[in-house]
Structure 1
Amino acid sequence: MNYLSDLHTHTIVSGHAYTTLMENIDFCAKNGIKILGTSEHAPSMPGAPHYWYFGNLKVLPRIINDVIILRGCEGNILDVDGNIDLPEDAMRYLDYIIASFHEPVFHPKTKEENTMAILNVMDKYEKVEILGHLGNPNYNLDYDAIIKKAKEKNIMVEINNSSLSGSSRVGSDVNCEKIALLCKKYRTKVILTSDAHINSKIGNFTKGIELFEKIDMPEELIMNEPDKLIGHLKSKGRLIDLEY
């Protein structure tokens, strides 16, 4: 299978990453990555850009150096009601939102409260296309309820290579395997991501691929193949300006 799409990447704009958008694009062009999703942290994350940044992503060409550019955001879940720290006008030109917990923004709560926040965000925002790094052991979650809801809403569940490698959210590996097995059970779509904060990490899904091979994840559920990913997004009314 061709894992040639990476929708969770960051640039210096996020405040704690180390390459520019053009450096990320050039890396993709040189390494055969066909789709780059740029997904900076939303404004509540320390160091993140102002919400105007996301509202102006419309200026990005759809294709640069033969790489298809998707306009995303890693939105911070703010509360149990499932609110995200980005106003509706800033979401207008986004292709997708990754909904994630981050400790500086949402302090871990009870299992019921954490779970309700995830369930509510899926209902509240139609541009939430990916649930980010659910395996973080700091957040106790009802994975069964979340994965079933993601299936119902046709939302992808991220398998985050940074989490699995131990470079972020140490201890996520056991939870990620549980999540992946539930996605297989309920036939919920999954997507491999790098969560790259430097361009050399973009498209590195080594640990995620190992996990999928271990549990024999059905290929039809894995959304990194460019045609499949674009078909999924277009079926939901996204990318109407992309001729593909």
Structure 2
Amino acid sequence: MIEKLIADLHSHTLASTHAYSTIYENTLTAREKGLKILAMTDHGPQLADSADILHFKNSVKAIPDTVNGVIVLKGMEANFLPGGKTDCPPRVYRSLDLVLCGFHRGAMESQDRDANTDIVLKAIQSGSIDVVAHPGDPNYPKDLEAIVRCAAEYGVAIEINAASGAGSRVGSNEFCLETARLCKKYHTTVSVGSDSHFMSNIGNLRHAIDIINEAGIPEELIINTSVSRTLDFALHRGHPHVETYFRYLENQL
């Protein structure tokens, strides 16, 4: 049974203008809740209220590796686009630490189940995303088994989103549980995030943890369970900047 996780791998700041806190405020809450890692994953530039691509390109240089004692992964919640493309260009993908990708109104309207599934499968196979964000969203029907199986094959993580069905994306619960059970079946890597849009929600992962425990997902599949597991995942996905966090940790010993 999972009781606590050390990383929140999905959060938003004022750069997504429908969110309301700063990186500094978010890390304060993360520290108070005992988190070691917080991923800053603001929405990709395809959404009208998101930051320009320069914001993401500059984040690795401008933001310290740790803020308030918490490792800050510089990332993006990119948008699935027609043809399995995303709004995170390859050069930006490599420079960041973690790239989630999800369906969002304003970036792409829902297609039929087969079309939505094909978009996700092509994005996974392209090597341009690390985590499929909130796959249980009922507004974008998809073949969850095909997606989870493909993610396992290509080393991409599937997110269990703590906000889905607990205030966001109403009707997600049954699909989130189905997704979790499929992750166990196919030994697919799992990522957990609060999807916080305000600082007080940082680290509120209980809803996702309950789903994980109900599905019986073993600890070794969940990248949030240790600092090394989280960083190893990001490094092996092709994000070289993650090496700096390992050096930071070595200096703390």
TM-score, structure 1 normalization = 0.94
What SS does structure 1 have at the residue aligned with 2:20? coil
- Aligned counterpart, 2:233: 232
Contact 2:94–2:238 (CA under 8 A) maintained in structure 1: no
Q: CA RMSD in A?
A: 1.4
Q: 2:75 aligns with which of 69, 72, 75?
A: 72
- Aligned counterpart, 1:39: 41
- Aligned counterpart, 2:136: 135
Q: Following the alignment from structure 1 to structure 2, what is the Cα–Cα distance between the partners of residues 20 and 65?
A: 13
Aligned sequence identity (%): 34
- Aligned counterpart, 2:145: 144
Q: In structure 2, what residue type is equivalent to 1:64? A: V
Q: CA 1:82 to 1:70, structure 2 compared with 1: closer, same or farther past 3 Å?
A: same
Q: 1:85 aligns with which of 80, 84, 87?
A: 87
State the Cα deviation string for residues 83-114 of structure 1 (Å, max 9, x = none).
Answer: 11133343342111101001221111111110
- 5 Å-filtered alignment, 1:11-26, equals 11-26=13-28
Q: Following the alignment from structure 2 to structure 1, what is the Cα–Cα distance between the partners of residues 217 and 232?
A: 20
Q: Following the alignment from structure 2 to structure 1, what is the Cα–Cα distance between the partners of residues 85 and 237?
A: 21
Q: Following the alignment from structure 2 to structure 1, what is the Cα–Cα distance between the partners of residues 103 and 131?
A: 12
Q: In structure 2, what residue type is equivalent to 1:220? A: E
What displacement does 1:32 show? 1.2
What displacement does 1:206 show? 1.1
What SS does structure 1 have at the residue aligned with 2:78? strand
- Aligned counterpart, 2:205: 205
- Between 1:33-42 and 1:19-28, the stretch displaced more is 19-28
Q: CA 1:11 to 1:158, structure 2 compared with 1: closer, same or farther past 3 Å?
A: same
Which structure has more relative contact order (CA 8 Å, sep 6+)? It is 2
- The runs of at least 4 consecutive aligned structure 1 residues that moved more than 4 Å come to none
What SS does structure 1 have at the residue aligned with 2:15? helix
What displacement does 1:241 show? 2.1
Ranges in structure 1 where 5+ consecutive residues have no aligned partner: none
Contact 1:57–1:93 (CA under 8 A) maintained in structure 2: no
Contact 1:17–1:198 (CA under 8 A) maintained in structure 2: yes
What displacement does 1:205 show? 1.0
Q: Following the alignment from structure 1 to structure 2, what is the Cα–Cα distance between the partners of residues 217 and 123?
A: 24
Contact 1:7–1:38 (CA under 8 A) maintained in structure 2: yes
Contact 2:130–2:237 (CA under 8 A) maintained in structure 1: no
Q: Following the alignment from structure 1 to structure 2, what is the Cα–Cα distance between the partners of residues 237 and 141?
A: 27
Q: 2:8 aligns with which of 3, 6, 9?
A: 6
What displacement does 1:210 show? 1.2
- Aligned counterpart, 2:180: 180
What SS does structure 2 have at the residue aligned with 1:68? strand
TM-score, structure 2 normalization = 0.91
Q: Following the alignment from structure 1 to structure 2, what is the Cα–Cα distance between the partners of residues 156 and 87?
A: 19
Q: Following the alignment from structure 2 to structure 1, what is the Cα–Cα distance between the partners of residues 11 and 122?
A: 25
- Aligned residue pair count: 241
State the Cα deviation string for residues 7-41 of structure 1 (Å, max 9, x = none).
Answer: 10001110101111111112112221100100000
- Aligned counterpart, 1:241: 244
